[in-house]
Amino acid sequence: MSRSAAVQVNKFYDHDTELALLGGLLLSPERMALLDTLNAHDFHDEANSWIFGAMQSIHANEGNFTDLAALNAELDAMGRLTDIQEAGILTQIVNLHPSPHNLSDHAARIRDFADKRTLYLEARELMIKLDNGDYDNMPADIIRDAMVGKLRQKIATPEHLRGKRIWSMDELLAAEFPELRWIVPGLLPIGLSCLAGRPKLGKSWLGLQIAIAVGTGGRVFDQKIRQGRVLFLAFEDSARRLQDRARKQGATSATQVTLATDWATFGEGGLTRLNDAIIRDGHTMAVIDTFSRAAGMADQRDPAQMTMLIGELQDIAQTQDMAILVIDHHRKSANYAPDPIDDIIESTAKGAVIDTAWGLYKERGKQGATLMIRGRDLEDRELALQWDGLNCCWQYQGEAGDIRDDTLKGQILAAIDDLGTLGELATQTNIAAQLGKDRGNVGHVLADLLNDGKIVKCEKAGRQQPYRCTHT
């Protein structure tokens, strides 16, 4: 490897994380069983790789690698003991004051860096061959497909990236899951979401507005969001119309949004093509406008077909750890109370499978609208929106309702009171455990309740921050 290549590869490496994982294992060797997808070659530092390999070998033989004499003996058998001692690795581990509680996060980071090093080296090998003229007589699309296939075989589907589907109770309780990730904090999480409404209300405008905000790292409803790559499948719009709308909403050439006006329907290979594009281009979000056109000849009144089709979309979003937002229609009003799940047109199976439902409701002739949001992992919300004709986007006007007992805000207020009655600290962690809710989502709602003056912070107990309701 050339010096310049070595410098680039060294960017994909965190020395302290590797040492912290080794130190955490020395404190809690039983956690080695949770790291069965981590390999010694995933470590960048050779010395760290040797130590982890020795630990794995001792653990596999039901030995105790926290016994330094046993660990040294294994390293000596590998012919690496002298190198380890000269490098002073064990001293560095102790000086880091490691903890066993973040081992899963450390392992995920180490694996991620290992995958990035592989990506870089494979891409560099391809560039060298292109520069040398090795592929002069081969069409570019064949080179690309061969490269993608090669990378997939190497890193796209390692075991740790596949969604685990079967858990023993012991595995489930011991697992350390990352907090729920959001495209729009508190409103649009990773997973499959649906934005629906009656025709010509501005759903496509809103979908494009969100896509451009993600592609620029802009704002959605007054919230700053993280920049990412977006794929926008426009089944009903021409390139000319998309250009006009994108310009009106302030998109620039630097906006990381790819728009497609020609895409196979899901029954004709469109789903496979979507999954391939997400893997190849690293999209953090995809918008499908509209679901009815993307579904093609599928019978939307058939619950079995819709469960399978929507389920495949959801599986792509969850497996690739990204968000898919499908734009759909509402059925004609039957004078019932509006419900963003029940109102989705045709089969009720659609609403049963999606993770989050956005329903856009607007009276004809009026600028204002209500966006009702329901989801598995978020608080029910009703947002007041106003159409901004100058910038051709929806502007957030605030919440469209008060706190009710059946919302997550109401549940959190009740949980704070209940924990206080039980003599327990009403911390974010304890509240989430009490309600069985995602800790990160509870944190977002606590921040809202603080801003609203519904709760206040109590004196800290060590590092723990408890809260109390202002009405008590």
SS3 for 382?
strand
Cα dist from 116 to 27, 109, 293, 326, whole Å: 29, 11, 37, 31
Higher pLDDT, 92 or 249: 249
The C-alpha atoms of residue 274 and residue 269 are separated, in whole angstroms, by 9
Mean pLDDT of all residues in 430-458: 85
pLDDT tens digits for range 201-258: 899 999 999 999 999 999 998 888 989 999 999 999 999 999 999 999 999 999 999 9
The per-residue pLDDT for 289 is 94
Residues 6+ apart with CB under 8 A from 305: 298, 299, 347
Residues 6+ apart with CB under 8 A from 145: none
Higher pLDDT, 274 or 363: 274
The per-residue pLDDT for 149 is 58
SS3 for 368?
strand
Q: Percentage of residues in the chain with pLDDT exceeding 90?
A: 28
β-partners of residue 378 are none
Higher pLDDT, 457 or 387: 457
Cα dist from 45 to 37, 258, 438, whole Å: 18, 38, 36
Mean pLDDT of all residues in 37-60: 90
The C-alpha atoms of residue 335 and residue 332 are separated, in whole angstroms, by 9
Indicate the pLDDT class of residue 287, thresholds 50, 70 and 90: very high
303 phi and psi angles, rounded to 5 deg: -60, -35
Q: Running DSSP on this structure, what letter comes out for residue 422?
A: T
**Cβ count near 224 (within 10 Å):** 11
The alpha carbon of residue 30 and the mean position of all alpha carbons in its chain are separated, in whole angstroms, by 29
Residue 335, pLDDT > 60, answer no
Mean pLDDT of all residues in 22-36: 86
DSSP string, 148-215: HHHHIIIIIS-GGGSPP----HHHHHH--PPPPPEEETTTEESEEEEEEESTTSSHHHHHHHHHHHHH
- Nearest Cα neighbor of 246 from 206, 204, 208, 202 is 208
The C-alpha atoms of residue 22 and residue 29 are separated, in whole angstroms, by 10
Average pLDDT, the chain: 83
The per-residue pLDDT for 161 is 39
What are the structural domains of the chain?
1-178 (1.10.860.10), 182-399 (3.40.50.300), 408-469 (1.10.10.10)
Residue owning tokens 């050779």: 46
Higher pLDDT, 235 or 452: 235
Mean pLDDT of all residues in 411-440: 88
State both tokens at 91. 């001293």
H/E segment holding residue 260: strand 257-260
Q: How far apart are the first and last CA of the chain?
A: 67
The per-residue pLDDT for 302 is 82
Q: Running DSSP on this structure, what letter comes out for residue 337?
A: P
The per-residue pLDDT for 204 is 94
Q: In sequence order, what E strands does 24-126 have?
A: none
Indicate the pLDDT class of residue 164, thresholds 50, 70 and 90: low
Q: Running DSSP on this structure, what letter comes out for residue 333?
A: P
pLDDT tens digits for range 395-406: 888 777 544 445
Residue 371, pLDDT > 80, answer yes
Indicate the pLDDT class of residue 155, thresholds 50, 70 and 90: very low
The C-alpha atoms of residue 278 and residue 256 are separated, in whole angstroms, by 13
The pTM score is 0.55
